[in-house]
Amino acid sequence: MTLDLPTTFDRPVHIAVIGGTGLGKLEGYTPVAALNPETPWGYPSSPILILEHNGHPVAFLARHGLHHQLAPHEVPSRANIAALRSIGVRSIIAFSAVGSLREEIKPMDFVVPDQIIDRTKGVRPFTFFEGGVVGHVGFADPFDAGLAKVVQKCADAMRGDGVRLHMGGVVVCMEGPQFSTRAESNLYRSWGGSVINMSALPEAKLAREAEIAYQMICMATDYDCWHESEDVDVAMVMKYMAANSQNAKHLVAAVLDELLKQENSDLVLAKHWEGSAQGAVKFMTKPEGRNPEAMKRIEYLFPGFWNE
Ligand SMILES: CSC[C@H]1O[C@H](OP(=O)(O)O)[C@H](O)[C@@H]1O
Ligand SMILES: Nc1ncnc2[nH]cnc12
């Protein structure tokens, strides 16, 4: 599918959409290029497709690969985020299929979360800042409030009887790939979890380290296993994702229209995150302790980093 496309693109691409389960491509868009940059952390999950929206380039990346061949713990999130940054991306809208932990979040509803509980198990590489360069970024608010506001403004793009876009909520990001036990599902509810997935992390942490504004949009496909209705299985997720992908398409179009307005240019360029990670790194490891290989990797993310 990507074979005949140009492998270079001559303009920076500032906005990316990451698609997950059941959203391996964005319907209605014809790619104009397929980029596959090699980063210090390897290649992205799939070639990054460049799509045109009203004459503006937008990047699309399939998180689990073109054929959904990467399990959640195998997604090369560092390469994905670094590759997107290298082509100019400063804002990411990331889609995710999720289980609902709340009665009022029905399958086919969408949620724009504002918090995460980390239930991954430390088996996924989760930072750019290691191996001789230490950095600690703030992560109190893991998503981008400015992008969330833009998504909220586009809620009317959602179609379907009773289908809702919920603002705010807590994503529990579990390790997987097996679904939760009933005891775990109930525990997450007692912790205040709204929805559950296997993909919010380390993606959101790495975006923050890369000074990229990042907002996840969760698409409910099931009630996990706490509810009296049927327990989640893959068939159920895929069935609901077929419907959700239509709403994702409507919502993406509206969100891109909004983001591409002149008034949102600073937001899209993540001016509000600029310098945050760079400060977090430069003050930590003293020059004599820095590993040149690690410094080179940071330079890939932030060209000119060590000269400034
Ligand atoms: C097939 S259900 C579990 C799978 O679906 C979600 O994927 P994504 O977040 O990429 O849409 C969830 O996180 C799991 O990876
Ligand atoms: N119940 C669930 N648990 C984890 N990830 C999911 N993705 C979709 N449904 C899910």
DSSP 8-state assignment for residue 47: P
Please state, as a whole number, how many other Cβ atoms lie within 10 Å of the Cβ of residue 285. Answer: 17
| Three-class HEC string of 174-238 | ECCCCCCCHHHHHHHHHCCCCEEECCCCCHHHHHHHCCCEEEEEEEEEECCCCCCCCCCCHHHHH
Strand ranges in 29-80 using DSSP code E only, listed in sequence order: 31-35, 48-53, 56-62
Respond yes or no: is residue 222 known to be catalytic. Answer: yes
For residue 303, cis peptide bond before it (omega within 30 degrees of 0): no
Pairing, β 213-222 against β 170-174: unpaired
Cβ of 198 closer than 6 Å to ligand 1, yes or no, is yes
The answer on whether 222 is annotated among ligand-binding residues is yes
Respond yes or no: is residue 224 known to be catalytic. Answer: yes
Per-residue pLDDT of the chain (308 residues; tens, 9 = 90+): 556 999 999 999 999 999 999 999 998 898 999 999 999 999 999 999 999 999 999 999 999 999 999 999 999 999 999 999 999 999 999 999 999 999 999 999 999 999 999 999 999 999 999 999 999 999 999 999 999 999 999 999 999 888 999 999 999 999 999 999 999 999 999 999 999 999 999 999 999 999 999 999 999 999 999 999 999 999 999 999 999 999 999 999 999 999 999 999 999 999 999 999 888 888 899 999 999 999 999 999 999 998 87
Contact between 212 and 85 (Cβ < 8 Å): yes
pTM of the entire structure? 0.97
Could you tell me the domains of the chain? 13-307 (3.40.50.1580)
Ligand 2 binding pocket, CB closer than 6 Å: 97-99, 174, 179, 196-198, 221-222, 224, 232, 237
| CA 110 to ligand 1 center in whole angstroms | 14
Residues β-bridged to residue 94:
18, 216
